[in-house]
Amino acid sequence: MIKKNVDWVAVGILIIAMMVWASSFIALKSAIGPIGPMSVIFGRMFIASLCFLYFIKGFLKLKFTKDDIKYISLMAAFEPCMYFIFEAKALQYTTAGQAGMITSMMPLITAIGAGIFLKELISKKLIFGSLIAVSGAVWLSLSSSGNQSASDPLLGNTLEFLAMFCAAGYTISLRHLSKKFSALFLTAIQAFIGCLFFLPFALWEYNTMVMDFNQEAFLWVAYLGVVVTLGGYGLFNYAVGRVEASKASMFVNLIPVFTLLLAFLILGEKLTYIEMVASIVILSGVFITQIPTERIKQAHIRRKARKQR
């Protein structure tokens, strides 16, 4: 029975946000190569920052406490700073489809982080499901061989896995901040800080790498800046202001499905049979962690009652 208090607006917004985020793997994979990875991220943040210049006057009227500054710094450090360093490097070594599959680990890491830092209960099913999902992610990485689009899948998937730790920290920080600040401000501050943070990296690449600033690469960077950063993060930040961080993070499980479909349609990527089975293992582990504990208890009681008859 579906509860009446489901926020269907937030659900719809989260689904759209996950579709947008899934497309970011395709855009990053396409832009990285002609342009250096850090230059792509800087361009993305710079374009997004331009979209928020109009709102700066309103942002200056906001009042901040030391606690607010601490959480804003923590949020931005996790994402975009550390997150995009790991993800950009990951997509140099693995496929967009496999990187998308690794994102299914993010809800598990978020739940574990909430248990450690927010003292939330870590159930046995969470531990069991996490072990299954992690084993699937390791299998996915070890079963992959290098090719033209994925020179070192094990390294790339490991970097993407580290990016998921950053995403979990970001989500927990965001939930705290969304009680006081709007989604517009939180998205803007990410873009501004990200632009400043990645500028030195972009300048270093510009002076040490040969890059091809062609029209297609520029369009992908513009797409990342406007659609993914402004649109995707804006939608997600708005939704997190309406629902719990743990519930919002569950929707990240949709990213692998959308990513695999887009990678197949746009990049022509294909998964082998072993890789598809490993992907199913990951999603199975994630699914186990999302089964309500009360439902497990009721099923156990029903089985026990049948045995006693």
Structural domains counted in the chain: 1
CB 188 within 8 A of CB 55: yes
Total count of residues recorded for the chain: 309
Expressed as residue numbers, the domain containing 272 is 8-56+65-308
Query: Does the residue 2 lie in any domain?
Result: no
What b/e sequence results for 252-281 when a residue is b if at least 16 CB atoms lie within 10 Å of its CB, and e otherwise?
Answer: bbbbbbbbbebbeeebebebeeebeebbeb
Query: Does the residue 1 lie in any domain?
Result: no
Q: How far apart (Å, rounded) are the C-alpha atoms in residues 259 and 77?
A: 25
Query: Does the residue 3 lie in any domain?
Result: no
**Beta-ladder partners of 35:** 32
Query: Does the residue 16 lie in any domain?
Result: yes
* Beta carbons within 8 Å of 120's beta carbon, 6+ residues apart: 111, 114, 246
**pLDDT on residue 221:** 94
Max Cα distance, the chain (Å): 78
Q: Convert the pLDDT of each residue in 258-294 to its tens digit.
A: 887 788 788 887 767 777 787 788 778 767 766 666 5
Query: Does the residue 47 lie in any domain?
Result: yes
Query: Does the residue 273 lie in any domain?
Result: yes
Query: Does the residue 122 lie in any domain?
Result: yes
* Each residue's pLDDT expressed in tens, for the chain with a length of 309 residues: 444 466 788 888 988 998 999 899 889 888 987 899 999 999 999 999 999 998 899 999 999 999 999 999 999 999 999 999 998 889 888 887 778 778 777 877 877 777 777 666 667 777 787 778 778 777 766 666 556 566 788 898 899 999 999 999 998 888 789 889 988 899 999 999 999 999 999 999 999 988 888 899 999 999 999 999 888 888 988 888 887 766 677 777 777 778 877 887 888 877 677 777 877 887 787 677 666 665 555 655 666 566 666
Q: How far apart (Å, rounded) are the C-alpha atoms in residues 86 and 68?
A: 26
Query: Does the residue 110 lie in any domain?
Result: yes
- pTM to 2 decimals? 0.75
